[in-house]
Chain A
Amino acid sequence: MEQKNRELAAAKEQWEKNLREKILPRFPERKERFLTHSEIPVETLYTPLDTENTDYLEELGMPGEYPYTRGVQPTMYRGRTWTMRQYAGFGTAEETNRRFKYLLDRGQMGLSVAFDLPTQIGYDSDHPLSFGEVGKVGVAIDSLKDMETLFKGIPLDKVSTSMTINSPAAVLMAMYIVVGEKQGVSMEQLSGTIQNDILKEYIARGTYIYPPEPSMRLITDTFEYCSAHLPNWNSISISGYHIREAGSTAVQEMAFTIANGIAYVEAAIKAGLDIDEFAPRLSFFFNAHLNFFEEIAKFRAARRIWARIMKDRFGAKNPKSLMLRFHTQTAGCTLTAQQPDVNIIRVACQALSAVLGGTQSLHTNSRDEALALPSEDSVLIALRTQQVIAYETGVTDTVDPLGGSYFVEDLTNRVEKAAMDYINRIEAIGGAVRAIEEGFQQMEIMDSAYKYQLEIESEERVVIGVNRFQIEERSPQDLLRVDPVLEENQRRKLSQLKQERDPLAVSGSLDRLKEAATGTGNLMPLILEAVRAYATLGEICDVLRDVFGEYQQKAIF
């Protein structure tokens, strides 16, 4: 082996001198330095020398085995492809129910609910801050009644449902559970995910309600409830997606997400939960951006880092506790308003990187999302993009097809190292929550975002249609509009509900919730009771606002 490597090193040196350096004067390379998005240098050529120190079984192993670098399942997509799951929701529950059925009829495998901002921040549609926002970025849900409409005719034992909901995640999960009950589907049969990841809301996404401490309590309450009652439910989706959208690099995205994951595990352990009870239901959510190979390296490195942290630091024994399972969405921030059809190609490349990185489920963005919510036609192309990758290209026929690539393995190692450096810095500050309070992650992301923008403006970074290959365009047609009448309708339905429900059941359940919130017991059973009584989301969240207070963000830039 060593003899072989010496020969190889000599051959590479010869190549460098006799071939590469000779042609460089005539054919100079396009740039002085080639860097990934995270500024990891990329060399002209990679050979076995770049991976000679890799201990295969230690670093890579078999798929389905520790440290899961090559994938979490032994056969990956040879058995079943990833779940094609398009994030959807707008207007009222009726409208979104129709879009769900449209997608399921066309081969989508799982649902992913987009809620409007008032729902995400725990305001009813008639709250003054909700005006103008109802049904805009997602569906408006004020109470169990809307949730019943949202899933009408969709059997909850047949689909899995992911819900992008964070601060009020426990309330929306409770509504889903009760809709299941009414359909005759038990909690054990429900499968799905709540995002439930508050820390990245403080860092990047902005739909926080309560301060960190009570927010972490709500999260550990859901962990505990899920491990006792919902064996097929992912109690959290620890998300790097929005961190990346806010402008981070790939390394920052992954590192900050893992650091948040560590904080959740620590909070749950502190609350007295057993790691192997809740850890198997932790899931992750990453962004698939444009720097193709770095994205693949990021997914592979993330699996390895998480497995090691769970095993070495937290002493998890259950193999399922060690597996980093993740959903991926293509990068919304890379979509351009200019020449929007070109976005189809960007999305296809990003989706392919997620698949080559071993994702468990995938959302592909629609071409028109830099302009508006996606139209039906655009959503169909996005779904078809996944289907082409899954059923036509053959990339699904073997596990981790890029494993062993000198470049990809070297890059995986470098991404891992750079991410661990960040994770250790956050540890040194005192953990993710403390670092957020100091604004560490926020500042790092902001610097990266600004740099990225300057690179586009200086044309160092090419964006087709924006700073290169521009054309005169007609303004795009057929954009989806959310009819402003829907907002009025939603408020009317809400006031009707308030007249029809039993006011004593509502106020009684809210009083009991408030009392429990001042104590330390698990709040899930009380939230379920309030939901069943048709207390509104805003009423439930207000009770908790009274007890927990509200988070105030520092406006730093």
Chain B
Amino acid sequence: MTNPVRILVAKPGLDGHDRGAKVIAQGFRNAGMEVIYTGLRQTPEQIVHTAIQEDVQVIALSCLSGAHRYLFPKVMELLKSEGVDDIIVLAGGVIPEEDIANLKEAGIREVFTSGTPIKVMLEFINENTGPVGGVL
């Protein structure tokens, strides 16, 4: 019996597009994961704080406003300064391909742009969270 994956679905910045975040949150929950959703307008500080408090293994960041180039690396920076290196950070939203390399360099493990099926994300999470993996 494995423990379910704990995952934080987070909306950094001022972006109000939460359809994608809510859809994946439901998908993750239905796959047996423990999902915490932050709601809108979270600062990178709030997201990192919640992730540590809730002891999650995965953070899924969603941003469709174009502010990902500033906000996503900021989350990574704060995690690092908190000494956290074992949380897998994933990203989604309207993210041009040319930005993906930079985000990965900042420590984002994978970027799932629009049109990615939930099952692809689930597979990725299961493959990368080791023995505590969720149920597909």
Task: Report which A residues bind B (CB closer than 8 A).
Answer: 117-118, 120-121, 123, 128-133, 136-137, 201, 205-207, 245-247, 333, 336-338, 370-373, 446, 449-450, 453, 456-457, 463, 466, 475-476, 479, 482, 484, 553-555, 557
CA of A456 to CA of B38, assembled, Å: 26
Contact of A555 among B39, B65, B118 (CB under 8 A): B39
> For chain B residues 38-85, which have a beta carbon within 8 Å of chain A?
38-41, 43, 65-67, 69-71, 74
Residues on A with beta carbons closer than 8 Å to the beta carbon of B97:
475-476
Q: Are A482 and B66 in contact (CB under 8 A)?
A: yes
In the complex formed, the residue of A with least CB distance to B38 is A555
Residues on A with beta carbons closer than 8 Å to the beta carbon of B25:
557
Q: Are B23 and A449 in contact (CB under 8 A)?
A: yes
Q: Are A133 and B114 in contact (CB under 8 A)?
A: no
Q: With contacts A136-B65, A137-B66 known, is A553 near B39, CB below 8 A?
A: yes
Residues on B with beta carbons closer than 8 Å to the beta carbon of A372:
66, 94, 96
Contact of A453 among B18, B23, B69 (CB under 8 A): B23
Q: With contacts A131-B70, A333-B19, A554-B39 known, is A371 near B94, CB below 8 A?
A: yes
Contact of B23 among A245, A450, A479 (CB under 8 A): A450
CA of A120 to CA of B17, assembled, Å: 14
Residues on B with beta carbons closer than 8 Å to the beta carbon of A450:
22-23, 26-27
Q: Are A457 and B119 in contact (CB under 8 A)?
A: yes
CA of A553 to CA of B41, assembled, Å: 10
Q: Are A449 and B19 in contact (CB under 8 A)?
A: yes
Q: Are A118 and B14 in contact (CB under 8 A)?
A: yes
Q: Are B37 and A457 in contact (CB under 8 A)?
A: no
Q: Are A207 and B16 in contact (CB under 8 A)?
A: yes
Q: Mark B1-39, 1 if CB is under 8 A from A, else 0.
A: 000000001000111111101110111010000010111
In the complex formed, the residue of B with least CB distance to A129 is B14
Q: With contacts A557-B22, A557-B26 known, is A136 near B66, CB below 8 A?
A: yes
Q: Does B131 contact A (CB under 8 A)?
A: no
Contact of B19 among A207, A247, A373 (CB under 8 A): A247
Known: A372-B94, A446-B26, A555-B37. 14 other contacts (CB 8 A): A123-B14, A136-B65, A245-B17, A247-B23, A337-B114, A370-B94, A449-B23, A453-B27, A457-B117, A475-B97, A475-B98, A553-B40, A555-B39, A555-B40
Q: Are B118 and A136 in contact (CB under 8 A)?
A: no
How many Å from the CB of A276 to the closest CB on chain B? 35
The 7 closest A-B CB pairs, nearest first, are A206-B16, A132-B70, A555-B39, A117-B14, A132-B67, A136-B66, A475-B97
Residues on B with beta carbons closer than 8 Å to the beta carbon of A557:
9, 21-22, 25-26, 29, 35, 37
How many Å from the CB of B48 to the closest CB on chain A? 15
In the complex formed, the residue of B with least CB distance to A207 is B16
Q: Are B13 and A132 in contact (CB under 8 A)?
A: yes
Q: With contacts A136-B65, A206-B18, A246-B18 known, is A371 near B96, CB below 8 A?
A: yes
CA of A123 to CA of B95, assembled, Å: 24
Residues on A with beta carbons closer than 8 Å to the beta carbon of B23:
247, 449-450, 453
CA of A475 to CA of B114, assembled, Å: 14
How many Å from the CB of B41 to the closest CB on chain A? 7
> For chain B residues 94-112, which have a beta carbon within 8 Å of chain A?
94, 96-98
Residues on B with beta carbons closer than 8 Å to the beta carbon of A457:
117-119
Residues on B with beta carbons closer than 8 Å to the beta carbon of A337:
113-115
Residues on B with beta carbons closer than 8 Å to the beta carbon of A136:
65-67
